[in-house]
Amino acid sequence: MSDNSKTRSHSHFYVDNSGIRYEVVERPWFGPRKRGKKILLASALYGHECSPDNFFRYLERNYASAMRYIEWVRFHKCTYLEGHERTWEQRFAICNTKADFKTRSILHEEGQVIANATGWYPLVSGRRAAPRRALNPPWLNASESLSPIIGSCQFGDLEALSNVDRELGGCSFLLEFTKGAMLLDVGFQYRIPESASVPAFGVVTHTHHDHCGGLKIATDNKLPIVVSESVARQLYFTGRVNRNTASLLQLRLPASIISGDGTRFTFMPHAHTPGATMVMVTTVSKQQLLYTSDYCLRNSYYQQAPADILGIFSDSAVGKWLLLDGAFLGHEPETKSDINLDILKRDLKREHDCGHDVIVVSESADYLYCIIMWLFQTFYTGDKSQLDRHLLVEPSIIRLLETTFEPFILRQHDRYDPFMKAILGKGMSNYLESVRLYPFTHELDRSGPPGPYDIICTVPHLPRNLKMAKGDILVLIVGRLLGSTEDNLRTLLKEKRSLWLHGPDFTFHSSAADVANIVDTAAKEGIKPIIFHNFPKRVHKALDTHGISGQSYECLYSKRIRIK
């Protein structure tokens, strides 16, 4: 008898004659198994020897068209221990398929027939991110070229910090050292004053325009720019930089690079947007400066304490600076909607129960990214076989999901950013592997999955999806909109049921109270906060009302701040 918990044998990968990669593992499949067990126990071949080859040949003879949509198969072959001493022979073929509805339906509906003929029960899973990218892809090696660049540089001690894009109000911070300089983000526009030190390299922390607008000019000027692999792929998709841009250097976070004199630059995953990055600089004399980039301490998805950020500093550091996002100080967006995620859950559940189509629309891909992950955890994982609907997602948003999820799964679900941690929790569920996820395409009406749908799209795709959706549709509008977009949407949706979800549930900057809390805690721990993304007057006024003295922080606006 085998014990479910300890049978973990070595895996071997093979490639079948049909070209499909597979492995055979002698350990249990803990996913949904009720239907498979029932079918196997009743099948003619139960208890007989069966081989993967049988399985593939049978599919080839009977479902040839489906074969090309199967990416990968894992055969689970073991004695499954169920409860007390009750065992059954598990022979599950977990078939990872591309997003082809027909293939998934055939494998599911023909489960009994296939098990009878081959001894294996086919269990359909969505396409997998990990096996395809398990090795470091060649383009990631490009980041190796970063080490020689920084590796030959001297930096010395921290000296000064200034915003070189202050005229346009963007974020581009020149961090000067006694022997060199680096650039934190490239602002709306890249321009280094002639009087200033030339940066050895720069980092672009995320894809918002106030941080990456100057990217093209910066890379045209051959400034090496570090980005996370997720941010890089988003920049390519949106056409902000060319794929062949030699000076754009990708890192799989978290990662550290050490300069010639031992200055350490650490890049960490962060929750502001998909793929966002934080940067910690540690000099040889143990000074530390942490650039949070745009940052939100808490929203409806997650809640962090100041210690989660301040704990990144090392105890032995001498001189600690925290470059902190103060965008919402005296400037918090007004709440136009009082819908929170609990109410949303209740409302969507009602739509699901009635079998209505739901369209979620936003101007920002970031908001859609958040809501898709939330939808998965709330409705599509767990007992998802009970949910009789499909998710149709704009292809570019699926790519966005991939860019963040692949690095995440390749970190073995470790070192999540707070958003990922809150949404995915301890579970190993992979929202890209859902069999209910489909990109929307032109052929959808003919060969795609049947409704009802949860449709996720950006504003330009809304009219088309309104035509496709059927019956009494609910449209959920997420996040802030441009005034003109909002007017257009209100006209377009006049006859429809709609819910407007402006926030604060989907905000990506810290509230004034949270900034005050971080500043206060930092000051007590000997960390000097430097607040950016706002006018000094407004910062002082807002923090004043929270009882924070102007002595405990600095504002990075027009002046060059000395760091000593």
- Least Å from the CB of residue 382 to Zn ion: 33
HSE of 319, CA atoms in CB hemisphere, 13 A:
15
Choose between 16 and 210: whose C-beta lies nearer to Zn ion. Answer: 210
Angle at CA of residue 24, ends 20 and 28, nearest 5°: 125
Structure token digits, residue 307? 């210690």
Tell me how far apart the alpha carbons of residues 111 and 54 are, in angstroms, rounded to a whole number: 15
- Least Å from the CB of residue 542 to Zn ion: 17
Choose between 55 and 173: whose C-beta lies nearer to Zn ion. Answer: 173
- Least Å from the CB of residue 183 to Zn ion: 15
363 lies in the binding site for Zn ion (CB under 5 A): no
- Least Å from the CB of residue 456 to Zn ion: 21
- Least Å from the CB of residue 492 to Zn ion: 28
Q: Which of 401, 396, 394, 400 is nearest to 433 (CA)?
A: 401
Choose between 208 and 461: whose C-beta lies nearer to Zn ion. Answer: 208
- Least Å from the CB of residue 532 to Zn ion: 9
Choose between 296 and 423: whose C-beta lies nearer to Zn ion. Answer: 296
Task: Specify which residues 183 forms β-bridges with.
Answer: 174, 202
Tell me how far apart the alpha carbons of residues 480 and 246 are, in angstroms, rounded to a whole number: 35
- Least Å from the CB of residue 262 to Zn ion: 31
Choose between 159 and 210: whose C-beta lies nearer to Zn ion. Answer: 210
- Least Å from the CB of residue 206 to Zn ion: 6
Choose between 283 and 534: whose C-beta lies nearer to Zn ion. Answer: 534
- Least Å from the CB of residue 561 to Zn ion: 19
Mapped onto helix, strand or coil, the DSSP state of residue 63 is coil
Choose between 489 and 530: whose C-beta lies nearer to Zn ion. Answer: 530
210 lies in the binding site for Zn ion (CB under 5 A): yes
Q: What is the 3-state secondary structure (H, E, C) of 69-106?
A: CEEEEEEEEEEEEECCCEEEEEEEEEEEECCCHHHHHH
Q: Are the C-beta atoms of 466 and 496 separated by less than 8 Å? A: yes
417 lies in the binding site for Zn ion (CB under 5 A): no
Choose between 304 and 465: whose C-beta lies nearer to Zn ion. Answer: 304
- Binding track, positions 42-81, relative to Zn ion; x by CB under 5 A: ----------------------------------------
Q: Find all residues with CB under 8 Å of 477, minimum gap 6, and list them.
A: 361, 362, 489, 493, 498, 499, 500, 501
Task: Specify which residues 265 forms β-bridges with.
Answer: 257, 281
Choose between 234 and 263: whose C-beta lies nearer to Zn ion. Answer: 234
Choose between 104 and 208: whose C-beta lies nearer to Zn ion. Answer: 208
Stretch that binds Zn ion, among 54-62, 143-151, 206-214, 316-324 (CB under 5 A): 206-214
- Least Å from the CB of residue 192 to Zn ion: 19
Mapped onto helix, strand or coil, the DSSP state of residue 289 is strand
Stretch that binds Zn ion, among 106-114, 203-211, 226-234, 538-546 (CB under 5 A): 203-211
Choose between 210 and 406: whose C-beta lies nearer to Zn ion. Answer: 210
Q: Are the C-beta atoms of 114 and 107 separated by less than 8 Å? A: yes
Q: Which of 167, 171, 271 is nearest to 532 (CA)?
A: 171
The counts of H helices and E strands in the chain are 20, 25
- Least Å from the CB of residue 169 to Zn ion: 10
| Alpha-carbon separation of residue 145 from 149, 153, 203, 257, 444 (angstroms) | 7, 14, 15, 11, 43
| Alpha-carbon separation of residue 236 from 130, 229, 245, 454 (angstroms) | 21, 11, 10, 27
Q: Find all residues with CB under 8 Å of 544, minimum gap 6, and list them.
A: 550
Stretch that binds Zn ion, among 5-13, 30-38, 201-209, 555-563 (CB under 5 A): 201-209
Task: Specify which residues 476 forms β-bridges with.
Answer: 360, 499
Choose between 128 and 509: whose C-beta lies nearer to Zn ion. Answer: 509
Structure token digits, residue 290? 């942490």
Q: Which residue has the tokens 């409860």?
A: 83
Mapped onto helix, strand or coil, the DSSP state of residue 266 is strand
208 lies in the binding site for Zn ion (CB under 5 A): yes
The sign of the dihedral angle between the CA atoms of 491, 496, 497, 498 is negative
Structure token digits, residue 471? 């019956």
Which residue type occupies 46? Y
**The 248-251 sheet, strands edge to edge:** 248-251, 225-228, 202-203, 181-184, 173-177, 158-163, 561-562
185 lies in the binding site for Zn ion (CB under 5 A): no
Report 248-307 residues binding Zn ion (CB under 5 A): 294
- Least Å from the CB of residue 309 to Zn ion: 16
- Least Å from the CB of residue 273 to Zn ion: 6
Choose between 165 and 294: whose C-beta lies nearer to Zn ion. Answer: 294
Termini Cα distance of the chain = 67
Longest dimension (CA), the chain: 83
DSSP 316: T
How many chain residues are in contact with Zn ion, going by CB under 5 A? 3
- Least Å from the CB of residue 16 to Zn ion: 46
Choose between 150 and 212: whose C-beta lies nearer to Zn ion. Answer: 212
Structure token digits, residue 532? 């950016």
Binding positions for Zn ion, rule: CB under 5 A? 208, 210, 294
